[in-house]
Each structure stands twice: as structure tokens, then as C-alpha cells.
Structure 1
């Protein structure tokens, strides 16, 4: 087997080779030469710049991704992470309204939807009997195309039959609710914890496995105080700055 010059260099430098790539790209980011949202040069160009092979470049960028400095998007390239979004949580938390205030384009995407029996935790959250039918939706919310959160949301049936179809068409839960006659709703409770993202969550959120996600468990009620929604959202920790409003 023929060993290339780049492979010899990689073996000789070991850790230093990919660390050199990571440190140089980080310096470009911290100095402002690369700004939030900028696309990095292709791996082939970075490999030529540092005199290493693409595997070494990829390893260096992976380390930056683990630290939350860059984001690799399949088919599009690697981008400098954008500044965290200030995300207020209060009685009326609306993703689209929050994004509009900070000048970001908001969009919700339906990943999956199914009718399932409520487990004990969801039944308690919605104030229904265990085993009662619910609509369970998995969704991704993006700001300017960047995933901010991946959520599992449950609604009691038959009241919310067809809500998933309205959400898929509108990309907004508030707009989907209006299709079913719910003009407004409010937050009953919010609980925030944190942990490392599992592989499935990391894939949905375009982050490296092991990045920290904030887990926001919430319950919403209609204006009559009836529980209508139980959600567990996983936010990329360094893409949002949570604030609590009263």
C-alpha cells in the first residue's frame, strides 16, 4: 500500500495536525475574519492551506463542532455558529413571535405524528386517564434554517384530531390551533433541565453527539384553563439564551 505525503505528515504530527487546523479556524472566528453564519472554505481548500489531508481537516472541524463554534450541514458545508437567540419564556411563549422580534425567519417542521395511548406521565400532564388516546407529534423548529429545538408534543384526542395536518401546512402551532377554533392559549408550567444530546437528537439538531441540550418540559392550557398540550423540547444550549418573564 502506498502511503501519501499527507498521511506521513498526519502520522508524524498526530494530535498537533488536526489541532493546528482547529486552532487556526477558531482564531479566524474570534478575530472576526469569520463571522456568525459564514460558510467555511471547503475541506479540500483547508487541507491545501494546512498541508494535510481531508481526514485531518475533518477531525479538527469536528472538535470545533463539539465546542459549538461551527455547524456542519450535510450537502451545504460547515458554517460558523450564529449568535444565541434570546428566548423569553412566559405566559404566552410563541416561537414565531420570538423569532420575529429578533429578525429571524421561523419555521416549524413536522417530523412524525401518530395516535398512541397516553403513558402515566403524559396522562398526568394533560389531566386525562392513563391509556387515553393522544396525538403525539415530533417537530423541529428552525430560525433562518438553523435547528433550534426538537420537540415531542402531545394533545388529547379527539379534540385535536387533524392538528398535525394543519401544523404541517402552516409550520406554526398557533396557526394550527386557530384552525381548530382555539384563538389563544397560555403556559401553565415550565420545567428546565439539561443533559448531553443523544445520537438521534444530535442528528435532528445538526450538532455533534455530546453537545448540551436544554430540556424544557411545559404544559399549556386554553383560556378556560383546560390542559391542551404537553411538550418536551430539546434546545441546543449554545444557540439560545433563555429568559424568564412574568
Structure 2
């Protein structure tokens, strides 16, 4: 039996054939993919809900969910917890070099950078933070958690660690503008350079997935970075968690 599939505001030429041995979820995924490629939904657009697709294709929700998971695994869509499914945007190229600056990287790709401070607190330097900043364990450091976005889409969560008392003016500077580079300049450091970056990957926590608007089944790109002032003194140890479906890390040569 062959049935016409309506996958958007118009009817696609694809058909749902319940007797040709191809799973229904695969046929549905293929039909949605064709409509995305044809431009029925632009990058970033919200897709119909599972319930709407269920009614449209006359199948159960499990079948639709399997189709959507397949599209997400291939990078066609992104599923955001509690918000729905969206057509995947173009992947940003994010260069890592001696002068890595989020705003500059984003503007080079003709997108508008934004930032939001999630929290600021003074903590005791321990483990990797103390080692990277060259501090004795227990010394105070300022921890700044920041969400960085491009055209309003979450890209990366950064946990920055600054030695105290050198950067005690950082909270006041960030209250004026949520830019780490601008805040460092306000603290008397107009320029700094990247000493090293270590890149790994892991699955997100529930909080990270929510902040980055991504599914728990998609891994994060994790980067540990150390920045130093022109004299070589450590000024910022950062743990960055990138939404892997939206970012491609590019390592630049010296």
C-alpha cells in the first residue's frame, strides 16, 4: 500500500510504502530530509512536533521519534530538551591559535556574538586550576561561568579562573559588558595570548545540555586552555564546553 506523505505546508513527492520492506521510520526520515534540502525549513527553523508528524504520517510516536533521532545523528536537525526539534544551522569554524577571541571568531563568520554571565564566585584553587595558574592549593581565584552565543544560538559554556587579587575588579567590569576580553582590558590587561589548549570530548550533564540547547546523547567538545599576559604570567585557565553539532575546532599554525 502506497500513501502520499505530507511533510510540511505542501505535499512531497515521496511516498510511504508499507509493503516494500523499508522501515517506516527510515521513509519518514528520508522525506523530512528531502524537504529540508529543498528549503521548506530554513536552518534554525523549528520543525513540527512529534504529535504533528505522528498525525501527518499516520504512525505512532515511537516511529517518528526513531526518524528524528536518525536525522539528529546525521547532523540534519538538533533536538533541544523541552523546546522541540530544529533544522541544524551551518557549523561554525572555531580557530584555536595564540590569539583566540570568541567575538572575533564569530564576527569573521558574519554572525553577532553575545554573552551571558551565569555566575561569579571566589573559590579555592585546587587540582588543574592551581597547577595551570601556578598557585599554591587553596589560594583564592575568581571563577566566572559564561554562556557565549552566535546570533542568539548557544555555542559554548566557559568556566574561567582568574588569580586574585590581580583581577578583583573583574565582576564590576563584567557587570558593564559580558565580555572576558573587555573585562581583562578594564583590569589593566589589554592583550594576552594562548599558551596551550587540550581538546577532549565527553557527554553533557543535564544542565550543560539545557544551556546549550542540545540532546543528552550528543557529546560536547571540551577544551582546557591557559592564557598568559605578555610577560608570560598565567591570567586565565578556562574549561570550555562546546556544542559539538554547531562547532568545528580548527587548530591554527604558529
Q: What is the distance in 1 between the residues matched to 2:152 and 2:36?
A: 21
Q: What is the distance in 2 between the residues matched to 1:47 and 1:164?
A: 49
Q: In the alignment, which of 104, 129, 139 is matched to residue 136 of structure 2? A: 129
Structure 1 gaps of 5+ residues are 1-15
**Cross-structure match for 1:69:** 76
Per the TM alignment, residue 45 of structure 1 is displaced from its structure 2 partner at its CA by: 3.7
Distance 1:147 1:79, change over 3 A: same
| TM-score between both structures, scaled by the size of structure 1 | 0.83
* 3-state secondary structure, aligned to 1:161: coil
Per the TM alignment, residue 67 of structure 1 is displaced from its structure 2 partner at its CA by: 4.5
Count of aligned residue pairs for this structure pair: 234
Deviation readout 1:187-213 (Å, 9 max, x if unpaired): 111111122223332222111112122
Distance 1:74 1:190, change over 3 A: closer
Higher helix share: 1
**Cross-structure match for 1:198:** 205
Moved more, 43-52 or 121-130: 43-52
Task: Please tell me the root mean square deviation across aligned C-alpha atoms, in Å.
Answer: 2.6
* 3-state secondary structure, aligned to 2:245: helix
Q: 8 Å contact 2:80–2:214 — kept in the other structure?
A: no
Does 2:149 match 1:142? yes
Per the TM alignment, residue 142 of structure 1 is displaced from its structure 2 partner at its CA by: 0.8
Moved more, 125-134 or 146-155: 146-155
Deviation readout 1:116-173 (Å, 9 max, x if unpaired): 1000211110011111001112221111111111121111111112413422431211
Q: What is the distance in 2 between the residues matched to 1:199 and 1:76?
A: 14
**Cross-structure match for 2:115:** 108
Per the TM alignment, residue 34 of structure 1 is displaced from its structure 2 partner at its CA by: 3.1
Per the TM alignment, residue 25 of structure 1 is displaced from its structure 2 partner at its CA by: 1.9
**Cross-structure match for 2:195:** 188
Moved more, 37-46 or 213-222: 37-46
* 3-state secondary structure, aligned to 2:189: coil
Q: How does 1:148-227 map to 2 (within 5 A)?
A: 148-227=155-234
| TM-score between both structures, scaled by the size of structure 2 | 0.81
Q: What is the distance in 1 between the residues matched to 2:128 and 2:231?
A: 23
- Runs of 4+ displaced beyond 6 Å: none
Q: In the alignment, which of 82, 87, 96 is matched to residue 94 of structure 2? A: 87
Structure 2 gaps of 5+ residues are 1-22
Q: 8 Å contact 1:65–1:208 — kept in the other structure?
A: no
Per the TM alignment, residue 31 of structure 1 is displaced from its structure 2 partner at its CA by: 4.4
